[in-house]
Amino acid sequence: MILTKITDTELLYLEQKRQEIDRLLDRYLPGEDVYPQTLHKAMRYSVLAGGKRIRPILTLTAYEVFGGSNPDLINPAVCSLEFVHTYSLIHDDLPCMDDDDLRRGLPTLHKKFDETTAVLAGDALHDLAFRLLAESNSARAVLELAKAIGTFGMLGGQMADVEAEGTDVTLEQIKFIHSHKTGALICAAVRIGAILAEVDEATLEKLSLYGEKIGLAFQIVDDILDVEGDKEKLGKNIGSDRKNQKATYPKVIGLNQSHQDVDRLIDEAVAISREFGLKDNRFITIAHFIGQRDK
């Protein structure tokens, strides 16, 4: 199977959405001059350092594609997905976790500020995400996020990831880690957009499948980029998985098979998204991007 190469029009669409989301994040973060300034500065530093904004783009896309049209409802939710992602990165980078110095081309938060501020800023973004989602007045969306990032989702994956360090893992274990650590939040991003657009349950089920495929693919690409990626483009050190003896797809099944798995997952995600019968199918655009990203 050969992946359709992502077109310039598709890339332009994603870039426009990314810029739109950057503006939203800036607006929904408390200002640097608002007390407690240090904490707000730290939160802004990490969130506004850049990023692909894949999760909020997924939430916004799912909402719009399924007919949602209320910016006051969706904008806070969109930000909430990126805030949760950033909180997880900040805590993940801590010395007691992955001990990373570089993120998005800048010093990690505990390097730029200190560990105390990094722990609290992570907590604060975690909290702000729920606050914004609650403002959408949908307890179901809150529940969706909480399930995705708790011990049966992202945190469970992170713990498994930490415990797998330096051990021999099976393909099954690594699939568990990836689908929980990364996949669960990506899947929730799609679902929350669709829930706020009030789609029916059958559509939601189908979207979950799409989300699972791209979520797993996203993390396998992450593993691959840690081996073959470009440090400048990525804005973080490469080879850190190997250094930390992390469980990765390339380690377990090799680079070649990892690439093939990504292609297959993206292909399946595209096939699922075609079933929605959409005229303007932006889910395909996002799937292509995830399969082909180099940063």
| Binding positions for its own copies, rule: CB under 8 A | 30, 35-36, 38-40, 43, 91, 94, 96-97, 114-117, 119-120, 122-124, 126-128, 130-131, 133-140, 142-143, 145-147, 149-152, 155-156, 158-160, 162-163
Per the CB < 8 A criterion, the answer to whether 18 and 52 are in contact is yes
Nearest approach, Cβ of 151 to its own copies (angstroms)? 5
Nearest approach, Cβ of 157 to its own copies (angstroms)? 9
Tokens of 218: 């996203």
Nearer to its own copies, 145 or 290 (CB): 145
Nearest approach, Cβ of 126 to its own copies (angstroms)? 6
Per the CB < 8 A criterion, the answer to whether 133 and 142 are in contact is yes
Cα–Cα distance, 247 to 174 (Å, whole number): 6
Nearer to its own copies, 77 or 216 (CB): 77
Nearer to its own copies, 96 or 278 (CB): 96
Nearer to its own copies, 35 or 167 (CB): 35
Nearer to its own copies, 114 or 275 (CB): 114
Cα–Cα distance, 56 to 52 (Å, whole number): 9
Cα–Cα distance, 254 to 283 (Å, whole number): 28
What length does the chain have? 295
Nearest approach, Cβ of 2 to its own copies (angstroms)? 38
Written as one string, the DSSP assignment of 117-152 is HHHHHHHHHHHHHHHHHHHTT-HHHHHHHHHHHSTT
Nearest approach, Cβ of 280 to its own copies (angstroms)? 31
